[in-house]
């Protein structure tokens, strides 16, 4: 092996090791920032090793690509709002998938255009190219749809139509057939006799795979977005691995596998937090029974609701011993997290013990709510998980639910007929008092009504969350 290549390979190995250490550190709060930087150093090393590896003959396109990507990526990372983090991660995922797919495409064209010096693709190379193309294209288009949904460009509702699963299944089988055909017909033979066919079929494969990505993501509704974002994250890793198989490059294979694994872990955590299987998320009919009957079939109205004013809530909170805050995505929409923290700080000064309880699926991606609260300066050791708080929740004087709905719905615990049944919830209905801040009585993301709003110990405070919290804060200050 040429010394230069050997050095490049060793640098790749070192990068992979840095990624592993980086990820390890990323999973502990105290070391996370250093871990991320370690991984970035690993990436820089891999890039420098590639550029110095002796395979680069022309530089202008590399520089152009690096500049375009670096500047736009940098700007996006700086300017994005924390509420918009899920769609940005979705978009980045998509770009990673696209890059991996294009690596496979270039390898294919190297053979079919005769650049490789031979048109005989080895069997393993050919299989890798097809898989790389499929995963890369599905990741790209699927992520773009996820981005569109989260950004509100594409409808957030689950798009379903008759024969959808049949269409998806046929499309998938068709793709497999094309892939097998392309793998079996060694391009060498076909290129010689009929140069256009193989190329054309390969382009068809791209289009079909992108279509599959779109079709797989459109039927998934807003409430399930955290699962989809995690799953696409995993795909983007697998796409990189597939590109690694295409190039026989272990750095890509290892890094891709690490990301694939971490995405799968997060996907599993999200599914568990909703008590649903992955298959149920992808193919399920969740949230389709919108407007579903209430428990016992009676139609509830505003008259059944215990509707209160900010001063009542202020009184309750200020003289409580233990307060639990349950933030949901509605909090972030109202941009009320800063005001909320101010209120909580004030309560703590009065000697009230305040805990924030964050449900794993609160927000639009795993851990999203934690980031939003961190942005509002809430220390992460004040954040609790539902299982930390549920056992003693009966001793909590007041639960303040801000912009959360499905994650506090008692039907998930009590009502086997509910779509939410079995999902772990924060059992705020068992606390002494519960205040729910909400714009209206509309059902949540999952489209399921919430019995909590009509309970005797629940108070409803209607209005904009930021405004209501501000008014509670004023009242608390005067007490």
Partner 1 sequence: MTGTILISVYVFVLAMFVGFEVITKVPPTLHTPLMSGSNAISGISIVGALVIAGMGEGTMFDIIGVIAVAAATINVVGGFMVTDRMLQMFRRDTDTN
Active site residues: 406
Three-class SS of residue 353? strand
Note whether 383 binds partner 1 by CB under 8 A. Answer: yes
Binding residues with partner 1: total (CB under 8 A): 118
Rounded-to-integer distance, Cα 346 and Cα 456, Å:
28
Side by side, the strands of the sheet bearing 398-402 are 383-384, 353-357, 322-327, 398-402, 433-438, 458-462
Cβ proximity of 237 and 100 under 8 Å: no
Note whether 166 binds partner 1 by CB under 8 A. Answer: no
Cβ neighbors of 253 (< 8 A, separation 6 or more) are 241, 244, 245
State the helix-helix crossing angle for 3-26 and 250-273, rounded to 10 degrees: 20
Note whether 82 binds partner 1 by CB under 8 A. Answer: yes
Note whether 78 binds partner 1 by CB under 8 A. Answer: yes
Indicate the helix (H) or strand (E) that contains 390: none
Taking the complex as a whole, how short is the minimal distance between the CB of residue 351 and partner 1, in angstroms?
15
The residues in 19-48 that bind partner 1, with binding defined as CB under 8 A, are 19-20, 22-24, 26-29, 32-33, 35-37, 39-40, 42-43, 46-47
Note whether 339 binds partner 1 by CB under 8 A. Answer: no
Task: Choose between 272 and 432: whose C-beta lies nearer to partner 1.
Answer: 272
Cβ proximity of 222 and 149 under 8 Å: yes
Residue of 7, 9, 110, 413 that binds partner 1 (CB under 8 A): 110
Taking the complex as a whole, how short is the minimal distance between the CB of residue 322 and partner 1, in angstroms?
17
Task: Choose between 8 and 313: whose C-beta lies nearer to partner 1.
Answer: 8
Taking the complex as a whole, how short is the minimal distance between the CB of residue 361 and partner 1, in angstroms?
10
Cβ proximity of 226 and 120 under 8 Å: no
Rounded-to-integer distance, Cα 39 and Cα 17, Å:
9
DSSP 351: T
Note whether 147 binds partner 1 by CB under 8 A. Answer: no
Residue of 10, 113, 173, 200 that binds partner 1 (CB under 8 A): 113
Task: Choose between 46 and 434: whose C-beta lies nearer to partner 1.
Answer: 46
Nearest CA to 223 out of 411, 414, 404 is that of 404
Rounded-to-integer distance, Cα 108 and Cα 119, Å:
10
Note whether 88 binds partner 1 by CB under 8 A. Answer: yes
Residue of 168, 289, 382, 390 that binds partner 1 (CB under 8 A): 382
Task: Choose between 17 and 169: whose C-beta lies nearer to partner 1.
Answer: 17
Three-class SS of residue 373? helix
Rounded-to-integer distance, Cα 382 and Cα 363, Å:
18
- Judged by CB under 8 A, the stretch of 106-114, 310-318, 334-342, 451-459 that binds partner 1 is 106-114
Task: Choose between 287 and 360: whose C-beta lies nearer to partner 1.
Answer: 360
For residue 380, the Cα-to-chain-centroid distance in whole angstroms is 20
The residues in 232-261 that bind partner 1, with binding defined as CB under 8 A, are 233, 236-237, 239-241, 243-261
Taking the chain, what is the end-to-end CA distance rounded to the nearest angstrom?
79
Look at phi and psi of residue 120 and say left if phi exceeds 0, alpha if psi is from -120 to 50, else beta.
beta
Note whether 327 binds partner 1 by CB under 8 A. Answer: no
Token duo for residue 380: 């992460």
The residues in 192-231 that bind partner 1, with binding defined as CB under 8 A, are 229-230
The residues in 260-289 that bind partner 1, with binding defined as CB under 8 A, are 260-266, 269
Note whether 425 binds partner 1 by CB under 8 A. Answer: no
- Judged by CB under 8 A, the stretch of 18-26, 210-218, 320-328, 422-430 that binds partner 1 is 18-26
Residues comprising the chain, all counted? 479
Residue of 6, 10, 115, 302 that binds partner 1 (CB under 8 A): 115
Taking the complex as a whole, how short is the minimal distance between the CB of residue 69 and partner 1, in angstroms?
3
Residue of 5, 70, 173, 203 that binds partner 1 (CB under 8 A): 70
């Amino acid at each position: 092996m040429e010394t230069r290549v050997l050095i490049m390979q060793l640098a790749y190995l070192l990068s992979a090791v840095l990624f592993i250490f980086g990820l390890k550190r990323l999973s502990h709060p105290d070391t996370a920032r250093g871990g991320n930087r370690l991984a970035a150093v690993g990436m820089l090393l891999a890039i420098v090793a590639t550029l110095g590896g002796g395979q680069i003959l022309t530089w202008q396109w590399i520089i152009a690509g690096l500049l375009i990507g670096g500047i736009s990526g940098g700007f996006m990372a700086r300017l994005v709002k924390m509420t918009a983090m899920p769609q940005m991660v979705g978009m980045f995922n998509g770009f990673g998938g696209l890059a991996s797919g294009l690596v496979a495409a270039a390898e294919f064209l190297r053979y079919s255009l005769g650049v490789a010096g031979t048109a005989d693709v080895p069997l393993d190379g050919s299989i890798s190219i097809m898989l790389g193309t499929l995963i890369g294209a599905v990741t790209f288009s699927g992520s773009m749809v996820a981005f569109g949904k989260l950004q509100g460009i594409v409808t957030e509702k689950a798009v379903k139509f008759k024969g959808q699963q049949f269409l998806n299944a046929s499309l998938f089988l068709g793709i497999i057939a094309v892939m097998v055909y392309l793998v079996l017909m060694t391009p060498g033979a076909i290129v010689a006799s009929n140069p256009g066919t193989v190329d054309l079929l390969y382009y068809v494969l791209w289009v079909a795979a992108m279509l599959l990505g779109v079709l797989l993501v459109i039927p998934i509704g807003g409430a399930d977005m955290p699962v989809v974002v995690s799953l696409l994250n995993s795909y983007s890793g697998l796409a990189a691995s597939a590109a690694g198989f295409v190039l026989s490059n272990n750095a890509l294979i290892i890094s891709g596998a690490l990301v694939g694994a971490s995405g799968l872990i997060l996907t599993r955590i999200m599914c568990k937090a909703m008590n649903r299987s992955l298959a149920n998320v992808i193919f399920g009919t969740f949230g389709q029974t919108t407007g579903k009957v209430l428990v016992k079939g009676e139609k509830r109205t505003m008259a059944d609701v215990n509707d209160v004013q900010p001063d009542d809530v202020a009184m309750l909170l200020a003289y409580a011993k233990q307060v639990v805050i349950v933030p949901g995505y509605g909090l972030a929409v109202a941009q009320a997290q800063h005001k909320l923290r101010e209120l909580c700080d004030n309560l703590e000064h009065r000697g009230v013990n305040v805990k924030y309880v964050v449900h794993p699926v609160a927000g639009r991606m795993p851990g999203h709510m934690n980031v939003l609260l961190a942005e509002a300066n809430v220390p992460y050791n004040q954040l609790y998980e539902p299982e930390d708080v549920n056992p003693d929740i009966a001793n909590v004087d007041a639960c303040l639910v801000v912009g959360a709905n499905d994650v506090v719905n008692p039907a998930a615990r009590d009502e086997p007929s509910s779509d939410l049944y079995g999902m772990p919830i924060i059992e705020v209905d068992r606390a002494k008092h519960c205040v729910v801040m909400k714009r209206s009585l509309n059902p949540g993301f999952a489209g399921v009504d919430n019995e909590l709003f009509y309970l005797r110990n629940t108070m409803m405070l209607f209005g904009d969350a930021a405004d209501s919290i501000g008014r509670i804060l004023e009242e608390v200050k005067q007490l």
